Amino acid sequence: MVVKILSSVLILVALYMGLKQGWAMVSGKPLMVEMFAKWNVGKNGLMIIGAFTIIGAILVLIPQTFMWGNFITAAGILLIICFHLNETSVSSAERLKGVAIELPFLLLSLVIIYLQHPLAKNVG
């Protein structure tokens, strides 16, 4: 029972973050546009990444699409990590700082996968 509650809470946290960040990308919030512009991602690319972020967050809610949602979410986070690592205009310390900011979100997806969906039939 505790695992189901923890899993539910973490899924809701991931949903909130995914919707918030995805909407910031889709709506072209200046901070998002600025961050992705330094990686040569234009507004259309940002909108596509944002749409996938929102879709991934929503798919995590449904037991049948739970894994796909986590896969999409993790892929988006890995993409941003790769962008940070590929930056040449900043120092290595700044690149690693950007990666370090993204790692907890990647770990959240992995923990959610480990705990499984609370409504899945095989959760004990």
Task: Read off the pTM.
Answer: 0.90
The answer to the question of residue 120 being in a domain is no
Q: What is the spatial distance between Cα 22 and Cα 51, in angstroms, rounded to a whole number?
A: 6
The answer to the question of residue 121 being in a domain is no
In contact, 21 and 53? CB cutoff 8 Å: yes
pLDDT of residue 123: 45
The answer to the question of residue 92 being in a domain is yes
The answer to the question of residue 62 being in a domain is yes
The answer to the question of residue 106 being in a domain is yes
| Residues 87-93, mean pLDDT to the nearest whole number | 87
| Residues 92-106, mean pLDDT to the nearest whole number | 93
The answer to the question of residue 123 being in a domain is no
In contact, 50 and 73? CB cutoff 8 Å: no
pLDDT of residue 47: 97
Q: What is the spatial distance between Cα 63 and Cα 52, in angstroms, rounded to a whole number?
A: 18
C-alpha closest to that of 28 among 50, 7, 6, 55: 50
Residue 27 three-state SS? coil
The answer to the question of residue 73 being in a domain is yes
What is the tally of structural domains in the chain?
Answer: 1
Q: What is the spatial distance between Cα 56 and Cα 18, in angstroms, rounded to a whole number?
A: 8
Please give the residue range of the domain that contains residue 102.
Answer: 2-115
The answer to the question of residue 22 being in a domain is yes
